[in-house]
Amino acid sequence: MMIGLFVSAGLSSSGYIAAIIIAPLVAEDMLGSPKWSGLPFAMGVIGMAFGATNLSNFMVLHGRRAGLLLGYGVVMAAAAIAALATSVGAFWLFTLGMFAIGVGHSANRLTRYAAADLYSPTKRASAISWIIWAGTIGSVLGPALLEPMRNLAARIGIVDSAGPFFVTIAGAASAALVLRAMMPRLPAHTATLDASDAPSTRKSVIEILALPNVQIALVALAISQGVMVLLMTMTPVYIRTASNNFGAIGLVIAAHAFGMYALSPLTGYLADRLGRIPIILSGVALLIISTYLAANAEGLETTRLTVALFILGLGWNFGFVAGSALLTDSVQDSDRIRLQGLADSLVWTTAAGAGLSSGVLLATWNFSVLSLVGTVFSFLPILIIGRHRLFSAT
């Protein structure tokens, strides 16, 4: 089962990465300004927040497999809508398509929890990290296929910027085929099948959110995702404004995606051996370094931006792997699926706000200010961890 989850996560991520790279560029072309070019991306992330809760609830009733397949089916239909909207220049239809892509792609993100269910607490971070590592496939295939798919779209007579959505369709379709072939049909999430978890033992949402480790995990996940999205969303626009070089855009975003995914097995190993909190704090340090480097990089400085975005991706990886493991460890099985859906909804809502704000910050001020805003927010997990550590020591 783990192999099927791994392969499907990698294939689906390639299509999603292609979509999010092209989305702000398509939006800017439609609107004639970068100010609201982050809106379709933001709506895609809001879609993931919506999808995380609803797909989780669906999985409780119908199983992980059915929920993942449903998600990838939504992605295929939504990517076709986005490609059509791009071809006819319909901004609001394009935004709707991106929202629906996000709804479906929440299945990809929930896959990490399906993997965690298969292992003991001492191996959960490693299981999560391998699913995230599968995104390395997407970090290579997604950017690499941008130019070929643009050329294909032009040859068949549609707007070339619609081409990357062919990758999105193919990635979701292949992920669904792999899951159908390699993941057994289970009636429900494993947590719902444990008879020892009677409803009377379940905590309320308020009780769950009051737990210190839950608060630390939620903040680590939300800030890691939010800061990463803040910079990543507008970096293609920043580079294109300076050089109109799609090759440079692909290189920088590929390095960023590589940082997000490629070292995940090491991150999971360290989180299992050294603990979740030290890895979260290491991720915070990387976010601060990356945002500082980006704040001092010109749009033509491809090397500096490549390094900054790689470190940004690595910082996200540390926070996301360790935060996901800490979240899963913090509650009993009967509460876990509710908390996972709630956590991902919070994470993607935060990321949506970051994606939308990024265009406004770039248009109103500049890329340096945008990056420094990310630096400020990166300190928040330190404050939350310090608060709980000081409180527990008194």
Chain segment 209-264, per-residue pLDDT in tens:
889 999 999 999 999 999 999 998 889 888 888 776 777 888 898 899 889 888 89
194 within domain boundaries: no
- DSSP for 72-94, written as a single string: HHHHHHHHHHHHHHHHHT-HHHH
pTM of the model: 0.80
Best CA proximity match to 106, nearest among 49, 151, 155, 23? 49
Vertex 179: Cα angle to 175 and 181 (nearest 5): 120
In the structure, what pLDDT confidence band is assigned to residue 152 with cuts at 50, 70 and 90?
A: confident
Q: Residue 99: which residues within 8 A CB-CB, separation 6 or more?
A: 43, 44, 46, 47, 50, 78
Which amino acid is present at 339? L
Best CA proximity match to 255, nearest among 221, 303, 299, 223? 303
Examine the pLDDT at 100 and tell me if it is beyond 90.
Answer: yes
Vertex 216: Cα angle to 207 and 230 (nearest 5): 120
Examine the pLDDT at 192 and tell me if it is beyond 50.
Answer: no
Question: Distance between CA 133 and CA 268 in Å, rounded?
Answer: 10
Q: What is the mean pLDDT of residues 358-366?
A: 89
What would the pLDDT profile of 335-347 be if each residue is shown by its tens digit? Answer: 777 788 889 999 8
191 within domain boundaries: no
What would the pLDDT profile of 297-339 be if each residue is shown by its tens digit? Answer: 888 888 999 999 999 999 999 999 999 999 989 887 767 777 8
Vertex 339: Cα angle to 9 and 334 (nearest 5): 105
76 within domain boundaries: yes
Burial class (CB in 10 A: 0-12, 13-18, 19+), 327: buried
Vertex 275: Cα angle to 269 and 280 (nearest 5): 90
198 within domain boundaries: no
Domain of 372, CATH number, reads 1.20.1250.20
Count CB atoms within 10 A of the CB of residue 188.
Answer: 15
Q: What is the mean pLDDT of residues 192-212?
A: 66
56 within domain boundaries: yes
Domain that holds residue 288: 2-184+203-393
Q: Widest CA span of the chain, in angstroms? A: 69
The pLDDT value given to residue 185: 67
Count CB atoms within 10 A of the CB of residue 390.
Answer: 9
Examine the pLDDT at 348 and tell me if it is beyond 50.
Answer: yes
- Taken as a whole, the chain contains a residue count of 394
The pLDDT value given to residue 191: 42
Please answer whether residues 381 and 213 qualify as being in contact, where contact means their C-beta atoms are separated by less than 8 angstroms: no
Best CA proximity match to 343, nearest among 325, 357, 358? 325
Burial class (CB in 10 A: 0-12, 13-18, 19+), 298: middle
Question: Distance between CA 124 and CA 114 in Å, rounded?
Answer: 10
What would the pLDDT profile of 32-58 be if each residue is shown by its tens digit? Answer: 877 778 788 778 888 998 999 899 888
The pLDDT value given to residue 352: 81
Q: What is the mean pLDDT of residues 374-378?
A: 96
In the structure, what pLDDT confidence band is assigned to residue 196 with cuts at 50, 70 and 90?
A: very low
190 within domain boundaries: no
In the structure, what pLDDT confidence band is assigned to residue 206 with cuts at 50, 70 and 90?
A: confident
207 within domain boundaries: yes
The pLDDT value given to residue 190: 45
Which amino acid is present at 109? R
The pLDDT value given to residue 143: 77
57 within domain boundaries: yes
What would the pLDDT profile of 125-151 be if each residue is shown by its tens digit? Answer: 999 999 988 877 777 788 788 888 888
As for how many domains the chain has, the answer is 1
Q: What are phi and psi of 301, to 5 degrees?
A: -85, 75
Beta strands in the chain (DSSP E): none
Mean pLDDT of the residues in the chain: 87
- Please tell me which residue, 198 or 83, carries the higher pLDDT value: 83
The pLDDT value given to residue 189: 43
